[in-house]
Amino acid sequence: MIRISAILVVLVVASALAVVNLTHRSRGLVKAQEREQARSRALEAEWTQLQLENGTWAAPARVEKIARERLGMNQPARDHLLSLEASTGGAR
Partner 1 sequence: MKSYTFNHNPLLSERLPPWRARFVVGVLLIGLVSLVGRAVYLQGVNRDFLQAKGESRYARTLTLTATRGRVLDRHGEPLAMSTPVKSVTAIPDLANLNAGQVAQLAKVLGMPLEDINRKLASGKDFVYLKREVPPDVAAQVAALKLEGIHSEDTYRRYYPVGEVASHMVGFTNIDDRGQEGVELALEQRLAGKNGSRRVIKDLYGSVVEDVESIRRPRNGEDINLSIDAKVQYLAYSALKQAVQVNKAKAGAVVVLDVRTGEVLALVNNPTYNPNNRGKLSGEQLRNRVLTDTYEPGSTMKPFIAAMALESNKFKPGSLIDTQGGRMTLDGATINDSHAHGALTVAEVIEKSSNVGAAKMALTFPPEHMWKLFDNLGFGRPLQIGFPGEAGGRLRAWKTWRPIEQATMSYGHGISVTLMQMAQAYMVLARQGEMVPLSLTRVDAAPMHGQQIFSPEVTQQVRSMLELVVSDGGTAPQARIPGYRVAGKTGTAHKLEGGRYVNKYVSSFIGFAPASDPRLVVAVMIDEASGGQYYGGTVAAPVFAQIMSGSLRALGVRPDAPLVPTQIARQTAVPVKEDM
Q: Which residues bind to partner 1, rule: CB under 8 A?
A: 26-27, 30-31, 34, 41, 44-45, 48-49, 51-52, 55-56, 58-61, 64, 78-79, 81-87, 90-92
The amino acid present at 16, given as its one-letter code, is A
Closest to partner 1 by CB, 15 or 49: 49
Reduced to 3 states, what is the DSSP secondary structure of residue 11?
helix
In the complex, what is the shortest distance from the CB of residue 86 to partner 1, in angstroms, rounded to a whole number?
7
Give the phi and the psi of residue 44 in degrees, each rounded to 5.
-60, -45
Cβ burial 40-77 (10 Å sphere, 16+ → b, else e)? eeeeeeeeeeeeeeeeeeeeeeeeeeeeeeeeeeeeee
Q: Between residues 15 and 54, which has the closer beta carbon with respect to partner 1?
A: 54
Measured from the CB atom, the residue of 60 and 72 that comes closer to partner 1 is 60
Contact in structure between 67 and 73 (CB atoms under 8 Å): yes
Nearest approach in angstroms of CB 65 to partner 1 is 10
Rounded to the nearest whole angstrom, what is the least distance from the CB of residue 17 to partner 1 in the complex? Answer: 20
